[in-house]
Amino acid sequence: MKRSLALAMLLALSLAPSARAADEADYKAAYAAAEAASKEAAGLRNQWTVTVSALAAAKKAADGGDFDRAVAAAKEAEALAQASLFQAKTEKEAWKAMEIR
């Protein structure tokens, strides 16, 4: 019984998400993904101000050594950039629905 409990705990621990603090490599990966999506949106002339702000916040946090915050801001920037890309792509045709005819 004791043995199986120990095994169950070990299994639970191994499956639990790691709660380690983010490091510079995590930040760099998250920032690169966000920056790529942001550049694509800018290329479509559909950049959002909030994406730019989130990217700047990520960089500022990383410069201050707070990689947890930097990764969170970079992920937010990527989500915003992806939303602006979705908007740009759907609006290619969707704008016609608003037209006065």
CB of 28 or CB of 59, closer to other proteins: 59
Smallest separation, CB 72 to other proteins (Å)? 18
For the bound state, the minimum distance from the C-beta of residue 84 to other proteins, rounded and expressed in Å, comes to: 8
66/88 with CB nearer other proteins: 88
Retrieve residue 41's tokens.
Answer: 């949106």
**Cβ of residue 62: shortest distance to other proteins, in angstroms?**
22
Q: How many Cβ atoms sit within 10 Å of the Cβ of residue 85?
A: 17
Closer residue to other proteins, CB minimum distance, 28 or 42: 42
Chain position carrying tokens 């740009």 = 88
Considering the complex, what minimum distance in angstroms separates the CB of residue 40 from other proteins? 14
Interface with other proteins (CB under 8 A) = 42, 45-50, 52, 80, 83-84, 87, 91, 94-96, 98-101
- Degrees to nearest 5, angle at CA 86 with 80 and 91: 125
SS3 label, residue 22: coil
Helix (H) or strand (E) holding 83: helix 67-94
